[in-house]
Amino acid sequence: MIIIPARIGSSRFPNKVLADIGGIPMVVRTAMAVQEIDSVVIATDAQEVIDIAKEHGIDAVMTSNTHKSGTDRIYEAAQKLGLPEDEIVINVQGDEPFIEHEVVQAIYDLSKKNASNEQIMMNSCYKLISNPEADDPNIVKVVTDTDEIALYFSRAKIPYPRDHHFDSYKGHLGIYGFTVRSLRTYCTLTPSPLEDIEKLEQLRTLHYGYSIAMVQVDTKSFGIDTQEDLEKAVKFHRL
């Protein structure tokens, strides 16, 4: 099951999930991009989103408007949908209308592979980015071990190239794979200090001693957080 959290309110870009891209609302376009992989449901806090999803043949479920994260929202949706404990749940953000099928499929496959491993709470992905790109705090960096298990995530440049130039940073993409079981466990954990400092909810997993499995992907997709991003998206769609 692919669940797309779609909160209607946004301090930086209100109603952005309904922003028009080539005649299709952003969140609907995101759902269409991944619907061949597995069943797709939009989890929202607005009837307007549910109505628009229905118009385009996309399932949607109403969730609370008090959730602090998309992960909490998709867990409520999973509960309402009655998904079994071993069901794979992929969290795809509603502002990723150009996400490639192959990227989400890679996370789905990794999540399925690790479904019985209770040490691995989450599965996610990264792309290689350049040294200049790594300077951007809005691009989250991740370092991994030899088994592609995440060691840490940061908005800072990690690893720091003290003695020589380094140009193979790993830029994290905010797409996550769980089982319903691991999703429930995550949502029962108290937010962690590092999570609060970096504003990165995946650090909660590491703080409590669980693991995040990673996979490298190739992608040209980008999230839409501002009006400028939307203008870029409209131009990208026309290419």
Q: Which of 11-25, 153-167, 187-201 has the lowest mean pLDDT?
A: 11-25
Buried b (16+ CB within 10 A) or exposed e, 139-159: bbbbebeeebebebbbeebbe
Q: Which CATH number fits domain 100-220: 3.40.50.720, 3.90.550.10, 3.40.190.10, 3.10.129.10?
A: 3.90.550.10
pLDDT for 22-57, tens place per residue? 788 889 999 999 999 999 999 999 999 999 999 999
Sequence-distant contacts of 189-196: CB under 8 A, at least 24 apart: none
Kind of pairing between the strands at 150-154 and 141-144: antiparallel
| Confidence class for position 138, pLDDT limits 50, 70, 90 | confident
CATH architecture, domain 1-96: Alpha-Beta Complex (3.90)
- According to DSSP, the residues that pair with 120 across neighbouring strands are 211
Sign of the four-CA dihedral 193, 194, 200, 205: negative
**pLDDT surpasses 70 at 223:** no
Q: Do domains 1-96 and 100-220 have the same CATH topology?
A: yes
pLDDT for 73-86, tens place per residue? 999 999 999 999 99
Q: Which helix (DSSP H) or strand (DSSP E) does residue 174 occupy?
A: strand 169-179
45 within 8 A of 64, measured Cβ to Cβ: yes
Domain ranges of the chain: 1-96, 100-220
Distance, in Å, from the CA atom of 180 to the CA atom of 154, rounded to the nearest integer, reads 26
Distance, in Å, from the CA atom of 58 to the CA atom of 17, rounded to the nearest integer, reads 14
